[in-house]
Amino acid sequence: MSTHPVPASGPPVIAHPSLRVLPATDVTTGVVLVLHGGKAVSRRPTSERQLSYWRMVPIAEALHDAVGEHGAVWLLRNRLRGWNEPARDAVVDARWALAEVRRTHPGVPVVLVGHSMGARAALRVAGTDGVIAVCALAPNGLRTPLPAAW
């Protein structure tokens, strides 16, 4: 695993992303990558005890039960708690996790499931090669104007 430097606007970070892998029981033919939420701005490292991470653990486990013997579920723990515009640290970590999936399981389709900040990151990387679907649960920070008739 590599460390990702924070841009010059912030302090250097030693933290690195990590993955909790719930493997397929047979040959892996698909992966669900689960992305947790966070804050708009925070350069604090994400802890394994953080609620936004643990909120996704039962979802990852339920998905693992649902995908069958050929599906794996990977739960990403981001380096930092914040989105941190313009760095978009959650996107950097999601891209890293997708690269790890492709390295480990070349050519398998990937479904992204994210909550809050993780949903926002999933929508940002949705066009990545191999991603076939996104489930964005309550994506935060999206600014879609309402139609004029409202």
Task: Tell me which CATH code domain 18-137 carries.
Answer: 3.40.50.1820
Q: What is the DSSP string of 15-43?
A: ---EEEEE--SSS--EEEEEE---BSS--
Task: Tell me: cis bond preceding 86? Omega within 30 of 0 counts.
Answer: yes
> pTM to 2 decimals?
0.86
Q: Residue ranges per domain, the chain? A: 18-137
Closest CA to 123 of 101, 147, 144: 144
For tokens 């890293």, name the residue. 96
The pLDDT value given to residue 4: 45
The pLDDT value given to residue 122: 97
β-pairing, 18-22 vs 71-77, is: antiparallel
Positions in the chain whose pLDDT score sits under 50: 1-8, 146, 150
